[in-house]
A and B are shown apart, each in its own frame.
Chain A
Amino acid sequence: MTDASGLYELKNLSKRYTRGKETVAIFDGLDMTISQGDFIAIMGPSGSGKTTLLNLLGGIDRPSSGEVLFEGQRIDNLGQGKLAKWRAKNAGFIFQFYNLMPTLSAAQNVELPLLLTNLSGKARKDRVKTALDIVGMVDRAGHRPAQLSGGQQQRVAIARAIVADPKVLLADEPTGDLDRTTADEILQTLQLLNKELGKTIIMVTHDPAAASYAARELHLNKGRFEEKGKA
């Protein structure tokens, strides 16, 4: 049963990889619930499966067994096309290395997810401007990624992630490539998106300082979660 505020529900989730003859279980029977409006930091040692978990939540990877429910609907068994539509509508991705298209301007990068909607050109322009405004990058709309600093590129990437108004933002080490000050600015932006716009954010990080911006910290270790309450 899904409770009203349960955005995600993971049921008996397992993910295994076979390396040669060996089968390695990253998770084995993982259960968890993520509420609407949560800001979760997933921490854990390198190789503990943080990215894998995020991939499963974002519908870019499938579990070996178990279920991933989003708003009560299973997404783990959707067909490729339906899953792509689900991602376009519900998930915004933020990557460690930004993954912007080098030949497109900031505004064009941000516009990409809107090309999958029925919005008119004018409506798209407005949405792009709003998104860039939220991350404080309106004045760099015409710049290409190479003309922007790492922090600025990540801001553009965040604008791209939110422009289609998805329910959840999935960020994998979003500040992993940034210096402390820049990282803090990015994390403040994420916090703002969570608090002001009510976006559910699931952020993978190995940096405790970054995790402290989240409302909830989950530690992944040997395929299990240990929750740490916040002070």
Chain B
Amino acid sequence: MLKQTIAVTLLNLRSIPQRWGMSLATVLSIALVVGVLLGFMAMASGFRATVDGAGADDVAVMLRGGAMAEMNSVVERNDVRLLEVAPGIAADESGEPIISAELFVVVDGIKRTSQTRANLALRGVGLSGPELRPQFSLVEGRMFEPGTAELVVGESVLREFDGFALGETIRLGSNEWTVVGVFSTGGSVFDSEIWADLGVIQNLYDRGSSVQTVRARLTSVEALEALQEYVENEPRLNLEVLSERAYFARSAGGTTNLIMFLGWPLAFAMAIGALAGAWNAMYASVDARTRELATLRAIGFGGFPAFVAAMAEALVLAFAGGLIGAVATFLLFDGVSASTLGSGFTQVVFAFAVTPDAVISGVILALIVGFLGGFVPALRAARIPLLAVHSD
């Protein structure tokens, strides 16, 4: 049985080029499905990686209780004072707590590729701001001078948007700024931001002395609990304290899920289309081989090898499609940077990441499409009437 199954399967596979049009269409439609799925997965995992990369366990983020996102949070000057003396917060050489009160506003930038406007986060930070991003480094230029209209821009901003080259003057809203430095935080969300002095932003944007978030370096990962306890037991503070990692995971979750919830149904709908295509192609394949299959049966071959052979053809076409889809997605998208709305409705620039897991999912999806599309035609192959030996 094995010998005849292998023989019929080889026979079948070798005849694929005779139906190259249909076969190619099947392969490409499956490749497209896998490409779409992997594209979305790459987007989701790239976004997650970017956001995860930004989160440290030994940095605490404090927002107004129930604010969920930075954008909706208000932290008053007095709150910041109380936090400066909180336990668990690390101090620098001169004994000052490493704490940064921050505020961001949304400004317009012009995207290089599309020449359209997109939102950017302009963040006001204190001098400890960089210290709270472990990967922070100045790539070019210098840090802004406190009290001046100078700004430093993240690498992604420089890459994706017009007008942020070092030394340039740029108008954001009604204010003129000078770009004095370019920084990198190692690919995290902050690379998509513009930083300036907190006091200057509070002034220009009429925020008085309030900020949105307070970031603090913890003495250790465990110190978070002490800080949380302090904030909870201090009646004047209504703040939520969480690790930066937890904070980013929470804000990324929504976007990642959105990408995936969009991606799977779309890939699924397209998979049904590809399934119909595969079904059709396999029917055509069986039809084209009717006389051959009947002849084999007349010689004494069983129906089962014909079934296996047709399934093998369907799965080979599907596998090829899956592989092409995966490789094409990898070549086209892996590492390509994209931007999407971050949790504050600002652009987060991230790189697509085509992960091995996603490739496996894609190939499995392709094989499922091949299996379902090939099954009924394969049954038909097994049931070709013997009298078809005389057909032409």
Contacts and interface: CB of A to CB of B under 8 A. Distances in A.
Interface of A: 51, 55, 58, 60-61, 81, 84-85, 87-89, 93, 95, 97, 99, 101-104, 112-113, 115-116, 160, 172
Interface in B258-302: 291-292, 295-302
B14 A60 contact: no
Q: Which 10 A-B pairs have the closest CB atoms?
A: A88-B300, A60-B386, A103-B14, A99-B295, A87-B300, A115-B7, A115-B3, A116-B300, A84-B300, A103-B15
A97 B295 CA distance: 11
A208 B302 CA distance: 37
A88 B299 contact: yes
A81 B390 contact: no
B298 A93 contact: yes
Interface of B: 3-4, 7, 11, 14-15, 18, 291-292, 295-302, 386-387, 389-390, 392
Contact of B4 (A55, A61, A101, A116): A116
Interface centre among B291, B292, B386 (most CB of A within 10 A): B386
Contacts of A172: 390
Nearest to A114: B3
B299 A55 contact: no
Given A51-B390, A93-B389, A99-B389, A87 B299 contact: yes
B7 A112 contact: yes
30 contacts: A51-B390, A55-B386, A55-B387, A60-B387, A60-B389, A61-B386, A61-B387, A81-B302, A84-B300, A84-B301, A85-B300, A87-B298, A89-B300, A93-B298, A93-B299, A95-B295, A95-B389, A95-B390, A99-B292, A99-B295, A101-B292, A103-B11, A103-B18, A113-B300, A115-B7, A116-B4, A116-B299, A116-B301, A160-B299, A172-B390
Contacts of A102: 15, 18, 292
A97 B386 CA distance: 16
Contacts of B301: 84, 112, 116
Contacts of A112: 7, 296, 299, 301
A104 B11 contact: yes
A197 B317 CA distance: 46
A116 B295 CA distance: 14
A85 B301 CA distance: 8
Contacts of B291: 99
Contacts of B292: 99, 101-102
Nearest to A121: B3
Nearest to B291: A99
Nearest to A84: B300
B195 to A, nearest CB: 67
A81 to B, nearest CB: 7
A79 B214 CA distance: 83
Nearest to A95: B389
Contacts of B4: 115-116
A85 B298 CA distance: 10
Contacts of A84: 297, 300-302
Nearest to B15: A103
Interface centre among B11, B295, B387 (most CB of A within 10 A): B295
Contact of B392 (A55, A85, A97): A97
A76 to B, nearest CB: 14
Nearest to A124: B3
Nearest to A170: B298
A61 B392 CA distance: 18
Nearest to B292: A101
Contacts of B302: 81, 84
Nearest to A113: B299
A89 B299 CA distance: 9
A87 B300 CA distance: 6
B307 to A, nearest CB: 14
Contacts of B3: 115-116
Given A89-B300, A112-B301, 8 more contacts: A51-B390, A60-B389, A87-B299, A101-B292, A103-B18, A115-B7, A116-B301, A160-B299
B298 to A, nearest CB: 5
B88 to A, nearest CB: 75
Contacts of A97: 392
